[in-house]
Amino acid sequence: MLGFLAARQAGVDDPLRLRRAESTRRVLGLKLNPDRDVDRIHGNGINTIDIDSIEGRYMLSGGADGVIVVYDLENFSGKPQYTCKAVCTVGRSSRHVHKFSVETVQWYPYDTGMFVSSSFDKTMKVWDTETLKPAEVFEFEGNVYSHHLSPIARKHSLIAVGTKNPKIQLCDLKSGSRIHVLQGHRAEVLSVRWSPRYEHILATASADSKVKVWDVRRASGSLLTLDQHNGDKSKASSEAVNTAHNGRVNGLSFTGDGLYLLTTGTDDRMRLWNSATGENTLVNYGKVCNESRKRLQFTVSRGCSPEFVFVPCGSSVAVYALHTGELVTMLRGHYNNVDCCEFHPDYQELYSGGKDCNILAWVPVLRASDVEEESNSTNTGAVGQSSVNPAFQDAWSSDED
């Protein structure tokens, strides 16, 4: 570590190298920290979390009871012990709350004044964070499994929505119209994701085992359908041709640079695809337990080398190295199934939420702080006594006698 710092100072190393090495070291040291807590507001399982991409300060969570909570993640108290407080809640008592479980929440990509939530009550609501009232409500015919706003879009403000209907709807935030429909899937669409690299590229995953990549400017259909055998028709039975998985595909995630796409399916496999060509890179992650009937929210680290994938696996979160496929570690801490996880790129922290109504914060732990350092900071008024362990301090005799 000191070597890296010295090399950067001398100009031998690129500054990015130190940053990458330190980020990777922090991610490998992720652990449940007794000092960091998230306020427990949800009374039922947590289905989805999202951290805003501008400041990384506020976190949204959507629960199975329809409740949406906004948390403040920043620690301004000066103490290491910190509970992330809930700033505001759309609770059961609110007039506009969703009737059934909230499946996806997402901040508006450019500021935290707005967020979008979609739920099993067949609606998608665009909320104003200040007043906590929906500015717009989109209604659909079937349960809404997933929606996504493009994080980099400048020319459009479309929300892609995946519902029980095999057609993917694109709703326009500016005009409120929803006439653009993408047809191609044969079963419900479980997950939709915009590419973080090109603002017109959308990937969708469906229960018919197919993953399609679309360019929304093109009227004629999908660009690619991902094929797990890379066109080698001999490998599987003939029904499995052109499928991404041997079961429902319920998780989609692009890597931070948008060059690779990860998909998970109920065949207990996770696959890494080259997002430009649609080729299966054949990285073998082994068995990634997946029993979710809905969307699985998993996440990829950003700014590390090698990148890591955090996948909820039963009641723990599995961490895999992205390109080699080896299982690095399992983060255990939840009492019940984990449904969603989200990576905070600035602090290399992981937040995961699950059916046990808890959101756990996994914080990098690098070095246990020494006892002497702590007592030094608290005993600022101590005269003459240099770093006495608080256990030996005289706390009972009084000075008066």
Partner 1 sequence: MNRKRALISDTFKVKRIRVGIEKFGAVKNQHGPTDIKSTIQYLMTLFPRKLFNDTLPQIVLKHQLYSIHNDKTLVDKELNKLRERGELLMFQLGFDAEAFGLIFASDYKAKVLAAEEGRETRATVEKFLEKVVSSCTDLSFSKDKMLREFLFTDSEITQLVKSGVLTVRDAGSWWLSIPNSGKFTKYFIQGRKAVLGMVKKSKYNEVLKAELEERRTTAHVKFHMKYHIHDIVGAELVESIPTTSGTLLRFVD
State yes or no: residue 21 binds partner 1 (CB under 8 A).
yes
Length of the chain: 401
Least distance (Å) from partner 1 to the CB of residue 78? 25
- Residue 368 CB, shortest distance to partner 1, in Å, is 6
* Spatial separation of the C-alpha atoms in residues 334 and 353, rounded to whole Å: 8
Nearer to partner 1, 1 or 6 (CB): 1
Residue placing its CB nearer to partner 1 in the complex, 171 or 270:
270
- Through-space distance between the first and last CA atoms of the chain, rounded to whole angstroms: 54
Place of tokens 């009737």: 99
From 90-98, 285-293, 347-355, 386-394, give the range in contact with partner 1 by CB under 8 A.
Answer: 285-293
Task: Decide whether 223 or 328 has the Cβ nearer to partner 1.
Answer: 328
CA–CA separation, 136 and 125 (whole Å): 6
Q: How far is the CB of 210 from partner 1 (least distance, A)?
A: 17
Both structure tokens of 348? 């290399």
For the chain, the C-alpha Rg in angstroms (whole number) is 24
Helix, strand, coil shares of the chain, percent, nearest 5, are 10, 40, 50
Question: In the complex with partner 1, which residue's Cβ is closer, 24 or 206?
Answer: 24
- Give the position of tokens 């608080």: 390
By the rule CB under 8 A, 369 interacts with partner 1: no
Q: Which of 15, 43, 286, 390 binds partner 1 (CB under 8 A)?
A: 286
Stretch that binds partner 1, among 83-91, 112-120, 163-171, 238-246 (CB under 8 A): 238-246
Tell whether residue 389 is a contact of partner 1 (CB under 8 A).
no
Do β-strands 82-84 and 36-38 pair in parallel, antiparallel, or remain unpaired? parallel
Comparison of 192 and 322: residue with beta carbon closer to partner 1 = 322
The Cα 115–Cα 147 span in angstroms is 12
* Site membership for partner 1, residue 28 (CB under 8 A): yes
The closest of 67, 114, 295 to 193, measured between CA atoms, is: 295
Within positions 311 to 330, which residues make up the interface with partner 1, using CB under 8 A?
324-326, 328-329
d(CA 362, CA 33): 6
By CB under 8 A, tell whether 233 contacts partner 1: yes
Is residue 236 close enough to count as binding partner 1 by CB under 8 A? yes
Task: Write down the residue that tokens 């805003």 correspond to.
Answer: 52
Determine if 302 is a binding residue for partner 1 (CB under 8 A).
Answer: no
Measured from the CB atom, is 219 or 368 closer to partner 1?
368
Burial of 116 per CB tally in 10 Å (0-12, 13-18, 19+): buried
- Decide if residue 287 touches partner 1 (CB under 8 A): yes
Q: Rule CB under 8 A: say whether 230 interacts with partner 1.
A: no
According to DSSP, the residues that pair with 343 across neighbouring strands are: 350
Q: Report the interface residues with partner 1, using CB under 8 A.
A: 1, 21, 24-25, 28-29, 232-238, 240, 246, 282-287, 324-326, 328-329, 368
